[in-house]
Amino acid sequence: MNEKTESIGSIVVLEEGAEFPKWVAEYQRHATNSVVVAYAPGESILEFEARVVRRLSEITGELRAAIVACGARSDPAQLAMRERLGRTLLNAMAPDRGGELLLAASVDTTDDTKHAIFELAGTLCEDLHHSQRVVRVRFSSGRPESGIMPSIGAPQSFEHPAYRAVVASRG
């Protein structure tokens, strides 16, 4: 994101047990209309999903960045909720204006959870043909990072879904 404007929004979704990404401030700095929705103890998956959708509707302006900090759960109900949220977040972004859905998790998460996140990224990319939206995956440690985050701009010439799920692995 190169411009800083009040009409740009972002949302950070923290699933149950997810680490808060230390690098998220870089996204929020460029999207002055930012919302964070964290799982509340005792909340059901459906209640959490409904609250995320409700908060998403409160964002004024154009949604350009959505970060889903994934927890360790990878049971069918959690995976289905994560996919529905991913689709909802992507659909809230203008296809021709660009936007980024970033699926994030701890570098220490299990291989099964990492595999499920990669699989979801590929599934979500299947619906992004001829769109300026992208899906990325990032595994990182809880340590703060330095440096510049990649732009949310559209990929240059990668139309194949396999190229759209980009991994920025730092740890």
pLDDT tens per residue, range 145-164: 444 444 444 443 334 333 33
Residue 166: what pLDDT?
Answer: 40
CB neighbour list of residue 73: distance below 8 Å, 6 or more residues apart: 15, 16, 17, 113
| Beta partners for residue 37, in sequence order | 13
Backbone angles phi, psi at 154, to 5 degrees: -70, 150
pTM assigned to the model? 0.78
Q: Identify the H or E element spanning 134.
A: strand 133-140
Using pLDDT thresholds of 50, 70 and 90, give the confidence band for residue 6.
Answer: low
Q: Give 95-148 pLDDT, tens digit per residue.
A: 888 899 999 999 999 999 999 999 999 999 998 888 889 999 999 876 544 444
Q: What is the pLDDT of residue 161?
A: 39
| Separation between Cα atoms, residue 116 and residue 121, nearest integer Å | 9
Q: Which pLDDT value is given to residue 59?
A: 84
pLDDT of residue 37: 95
> DSSP letter string over 30-74?
HEEEEEEEEPPTT--HHHHHHHHHHHHHT--SEEEEEEEE--S--
Q: What is the pLDDT of residue 5?
A: 52
**Complete domains list, the chain, with CATH:** 5-167 (3.40.50)
The single-letter DSSP state of residue 141 is -
41-91 pLDDT, tens digit each: 999 999 999 999 999 988 877 899 999 999 999 899 999 999 999 999 999
What is the per-residue pLDDT for 131? 86
Smallest CA-to-CA distance from 23 within 79, 82, 106 is with 106
Alpha-carbon distance 114 to 42, whole Å? Answer: 25
Other CB atoms within 10 A of residue 89 CB: 26
Query: Which residues have C-beta within 8 Å of that of residue 152, sequence separation ≥ 6?
Result: 1, 64, 65, 98, 99, 100, 134
